[in-house]
Homo-oligomer: A and B are copies of this chain.
Amino acid sequence: MELKTKGNLETFFEAHKVAVIGSFKEEWTGGYGVIKNLLNFGFSGHIYPINPSYSEVLGMTVYPTVNHVVDGIELAIVITPSQIVPTVIEQCARKGIKAAIIVSDGFAETSREGAELQQHVVSIAHDAGLRIIGPNTIGITNTATGLVTTPYFTGYNRIQRGAVAYASQTGIVGAQALPLEDHAYPISKICDFGNKCDINEIDLLEYLADDPETKVIAMHLEDIKDSRRFIDIARRVVADKPILILKPGRSQAAAKAVASHTGSLAGVDQIYDSAFRQAGIVRLDTWQEFLDIPKVFASQQLLTDNRLAIVTVSGAAGIMAIDSAVDNGLTVAQLSSSTIDKLAKISPRLANNPADIGQVAPFIDNFHQALESVIATVLADDGVDCAVLILWAALAAEVLGTSDVFRRLKQQVSKPMAIWIYGPKLSAKEELTRQLEAIGLPTYLNLETAAKALGIAASYAKFKSRLEHH
**A interface residues with partner B (beta carbon < 8 Å):** 29, 105, 109-110, 152-156, 168-172, 175-183, 220, 222, 248-254, 257-258, 260-261, 285-288, 314-320, 322-327, 331-332, 349, 352, 354, 356, 359, 362, 392, 394-395, 422-430, 445-448
A253 near B422: Cβ-Cβ < 8 Å = no
In the complex, what's the smallest C-beta–C-beta distance from A224 to chain B, in angstroms?
A: 15
Copies per complex of this chain? 2
Q: From the candidates B105, B155, B326, name the one contacting A425 in the complex (CB within 8 A).
A: B155
> Given the known A-B contacts A170-B315, A316-B169, are A447 and B354 also in contact in the complex, defined by CB atoms under 8 Å?
no
Name which residue of chain B comes closest to A322, CB basis.
B254
A177 near B392: Cβ-Cβ < 8 Å = yes
A287 near B323: Cβ-Cβ < 8 Å = no
Q: From the candidates B179, B285, B315, name the one contacting A426 in the complex (CB within 8 A).
A: B179
Please, how many angstroms separate the alpha-carbon atoms of A102 and B170 in the complex?
A: 53
In the complex, what's the smallest C-beta–C-beta distance from A369 to chain B, in angstroms?
A: 18
Please, how many angstroms separate the alpha-carbon atoms of A183 and B425 in the complex?
A: 9
26 intermolecular pairs with C-beta atoms under 8 Å apart: A109-B315, A110-B359, A152-B394, A153-B424, A156-B425, A172-B314, A172-B316, A172-B317, A178-B422, A179-B429, A180-B424, A182-B425, A182-B427, A183-B426, A249-B323, A250-B323, A251-B323, A253-B322, A253-B331, A254-B319, A254-B323, A257-B319, A261-B319, A261-B356, A287-B317, A287-B447
Please, how many angstroms separate the alpha-carbon atoms of A419 and B369 in the complex?
A: 42
Please, how many angstroms separate the alpha-carbon atoms of A176 and B392 in the complex?
A: 9
> Given the known A-B contacts A155-B395, A395-B155, A429-B179, are A257 and B322 also in contact in the complex, defined by CB atoms under 8 Å?
yes
Interface centre among A250, A318, A429, by most chain B C-beta atoms within 10 angstroms, is: A250
Please, how many angstroms separate the alpha-carbon atoms of A220 and B429 in the complex?
A: 23
A154 near B359: Cβ-Cβ < 8 Å = no
Q: From the candidates B29, B319, B349, name the one contacting A222 in the complex (CB within 8 A).
A: B319
